[in-house]
Every structure is written in C-alpha cells, then in structure tokens.
C-alpha cells in the first residue's frame, strides 16, 4: 500500500514538473523534460546530477513525441496515471477520482504487449525503448518506493480568455457595472427586484404599523440537521429568485476568472475526495 501511495505522490510531482513549462514546443523536448524532473527531485540547475533511471528517461522520451494537440489536452492526472500505471486515464475511460484501474483496457501505444523475456528483477531484458508502457510503469513504481520529490513545480497562473466586457485589444467592450441599475441590467432583472433581493436595510429592523419592529424578509430557507457527532448543523438555502440571480452572477461574472491548478475548494471535479488532495507536499510521509 505504501509503495502505491509513494508512486502516486511522485508521479503527480513529476507530472506537474513536466507540465510546468510545456506551453512552447521547445519546452517539451526530452532535455527540457529531464531538466524539470531533476529540479523536482531536488537537483539545482548546473550542479552535477545523478542520471535518471533508464525506464523513466524512456517515458520522458515518449512524452516528448506527443503532438501539440495532445499536449493541449493533457492534465497532471493524465500524465501521472500513465507514469505509474501505463495507460492514459482519459483514453481508457477512467474518470477523475476513480480508483486505480490496472485491469482496464489499455489503448495501443505502439509497443508489443507480449514480452516474457525478463531479468531477475522481473523487468524485461530488452532495452527500455522496446518495453511496453506497463513494464515502464512497473519500473517506475519500484523506483518510486525509495524516492521523494523535493520541489513541486506548478504552471504559472494565466489570465485565460478575456472577460466578456473586454475587447481583444484589452479595451472595455461593455458598460462598466458601476451602479445598481447596471448590475440589474446584466442580471436581466428590474432595479426594484435587485433592491428587493439585496436591500441596504436587510440588517435593520423594519417598523411595523402597530409601532413594533420586525426583521426584513429573508431570501433564504433555514433548516437544522443533527450532526453525527452531536449538535445541530444550520443549512441556509437561497429561495428560487435569489438562487437564479446568484447563478447568473456566477455564469456571467465569476466563471470566466481562471482558477489555479493548486486550488481544490469549490472547483469542478476537485474536492476532499479527489485523488491527490491528501498528498500535498507537507514535509510528512504520506499516509494510507
């Protein structure tokens, strides 16, 4: 179990290093990939470096031969799964968060799967260039059992597509949402509805005809649920009209903002149950 966890952590670190500076073709050569992996393993550029294992170098060589259109679709989970399992997660139909699928059908990588000629350590006797992807992955898992990544390289955050209110030259294309009326127009609701949904006096007490006071109407439904550990948990759910306005704000204004790959909270496809959430570089040994 610990061997598998070590392999997953190391494969994720190397995958991130491979993708950290892979936007341009000259950054995807074997030499460039090898240099970033060496930095991931703690070797500073320019110092004498121990050679990488031959199977890993062959894996990097095969990555360097991928066409540009494939690099544009690769993620850290794709490369990490291929390094340690020997198949492409996306092509094999394994979804994010799915358990290891070593028995899944592996798309043809151009190498013959039948290779029974092995050394004493169980690895093929032929040169690594002739190994199958599964044999290279097995060698990676064995090597990963005693190797720990020292640096985690991440891609630089990019601005992504320009927002809808910007032209291609960066100039503002739409009106500035500087007033409540501008926001109401963007949300396709009336100003009265906007002020009703988000009144300035929501935290005040309203005077009643009889002289008393009452809290302003709430646009949320409240529900108390018992917690397994004891006590109660308060759930606040927006009512339909507020939920619709919040959804438009998310889709029109917030969704175009890029999210860094290190972010896991409230990111589609990520969360506390995603595969590598508990395997961040904390300086402690991974737990199983």
Question: Is 225 in a helix, a strand, or coil?
Answer: strand
**pTM > 0.75:** no
Mean pLDDT of all residues in the chain? 76
Residues 144-181 have pLDDT tens digits of 988 889 888 887 666 555 554 455 555 554 456 788 88
| Closest by Cα among 32, 96, 126, 80 to 268 | 96
CB 244 within 8 A of CB 234: no
**Looking at per-residue confidence, does 54 or 23 come out higher?**
54
Q: Which residues contact 182 (CB under 8 A, 6 or more apart)?
A: 175, 176
For 54-99, the three-class secondary structure string (H helix, E strand, C coil) is HHHHHHHHHHHCCCHHHHHHCCHHHHHHHHHHCCCCCCCCCCCCCC
Query: Minimum mean pLDDT among 62-66, 74-78, 94-98: which range?
Result: 94-98
CB 207 within 8 A of CB 213: yes
DSSP state at residue 129: G
**Looking at per-residue confidence, does 267 or 201 come out higher?**
267
**Is 60 exceeded by the pLDDT of residue 276?**
no
Residues 189-211 have pLDDT tens digits of 999 888 888 876 655 555 566 66
Q: Give me the phi and psi of 114, to 5 degrees please.
A: -85, 105
Query: Minimum mean pLDDT among 86-90, 130-134, 273-277: which range?
Result: 273-277
């Amino acid at each position: 179990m610990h061997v598998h966890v070590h392999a997953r952590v190391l494969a994720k670190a190397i995958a991130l290093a491979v993708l950290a500076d892979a936007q341009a073709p000259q950054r995807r050569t074997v030499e460039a990939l090898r240099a970033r992996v060496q930095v991931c393993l703690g070797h500073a550029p320019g110092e004498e470096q121990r050679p990488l294992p031959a199977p890993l170098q062959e894996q990097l060589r095969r990555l360097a031969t991928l066409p540009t259109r494939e690099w544009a679709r690769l993620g850290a989970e794709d490369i990490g799964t291929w390094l340690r399992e020997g198949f492409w997660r996306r092509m094999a139909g394994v979804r994010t968060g799915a358990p290891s699928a070593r028995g899944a059908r592996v798309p043809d990588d151009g190498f013959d799967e039948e290779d029974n000629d092995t050394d004493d350590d169980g690895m093929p006797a032929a040169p690594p260039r002739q190994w199958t992807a599964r044999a290279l992955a097995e060698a990676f898992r064995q090597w990963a059992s005693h190797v720990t990544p020292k640096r985690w390289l991440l891609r630089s955050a990019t601005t992504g597509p320009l927002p809808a209110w910007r032209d291609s030259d960066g100039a503002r294309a739409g009106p500035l949402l500087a007033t409540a009326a501008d926001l109401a127009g963007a949300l396709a609701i009336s100003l009265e509805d906007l002020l009703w949904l988000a009144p300035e006096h929501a935290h005040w007490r309203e005077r009643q005809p009889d002289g008393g006071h009452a809290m302003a109407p709430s646009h949320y439904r409240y529900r108390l649920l018992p917690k397994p550990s004891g006590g109660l948990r308060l759930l606040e759910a927006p009512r339909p009209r507020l939920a619709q306005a919040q959804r438009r704000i998310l889709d029109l204004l917030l969704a175009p903002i890029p999210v860094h790959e290190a972010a896991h909270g409230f990111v589609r496809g990520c969360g506390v149950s995603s595969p590598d959430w508990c395997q961040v570089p904390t300086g402690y040994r991974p737990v199983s």
